[in-house]
Amino acid sequence: MANYTGPKVRLSRRVGVPIEAVEKHTSNERVRQPPGIHGFRGRRPRDYGIRLTEKQKLRYHYNVGEKQFRRFVKEAKRLPGNSGDMLLVLLETRLDNVVRRMGIARTIWAARQIVAHGHIIVDGRKTDRPSFHVKPGMEISVKEKTHKLCRENMESMPGHEVPGWISFNPSEVKAKIVAAPKADEVPFRVNTNLVIEFYRF
């Protein structure tokens, strides 16, 4: 999944919901139709299919491969608390997702590219791993040569809201992680309990 380079709206059509909060996904009526020129008119999905779809929603939204996603699920099960909530927290604190939540990248794929190309600095050190796990207290900044691109992205998303667990300074294109994210702060609706149940089949 992390290396997927095909049409992104196709991923939204596969799961029936926009996986990115950009106009290309949210205003496209075809997103809610199954893939295919006429849409698939098959049987009602069974329990396995329902859980598979919820799992794929999460994978596509965070641009995570299946093998890596399984590791996240395994780690979430080891942590205290609701495994589904812990899974969301682990995914939210990936560096590429934090860059997206800051609003300096329009999509998770763009955020991943910004990180992988070495434009992001965490606590004064260049960090080019999209899967890097951020923690409260860490400061995230952008190389000065990338400020223009980041500001253009911010201007193209006037309604974007930075979550409360990130303190963002748009004038300096700099952010600080002030708290750990909570599951109910994630702006993407998915039934994580079904995702955890999927790996019990």
Let me know whether 29 and 58 are in one domain: yes
Domain span including residue 175:
95-180
pLDDT in tens, 126-145: 999 999 999 999 999 999 99
Mean pLDDT across the stretch 33-48?
68
For the segment 78-109, what is each residue's pLDDT rounded down to a tens digit? 999 999 999 999 999 999 999 999 999 999 99
What's the one-letter identity of residue 84?
A: G
- Only one residue has tokens 């099960």, namely 77
In this structure, is residue 45 part of a structural domain? yes
Which two three-digit tokens encode residue 48?
């396995």
Examine the pLDDT at 38 and tell me if it is beyond 80. Answer: no
Tell me the DSSP string of 33-61.
S-SSSS----PPP-HHHHHHHHHHHHHHH
Domain identity same for 121 and 64: no
The answer to whether residues 71 and 21 belong to one domain is yes
13, 16, 80, 152 from 39: Cα distances, Å: 10, 11, 42, 36
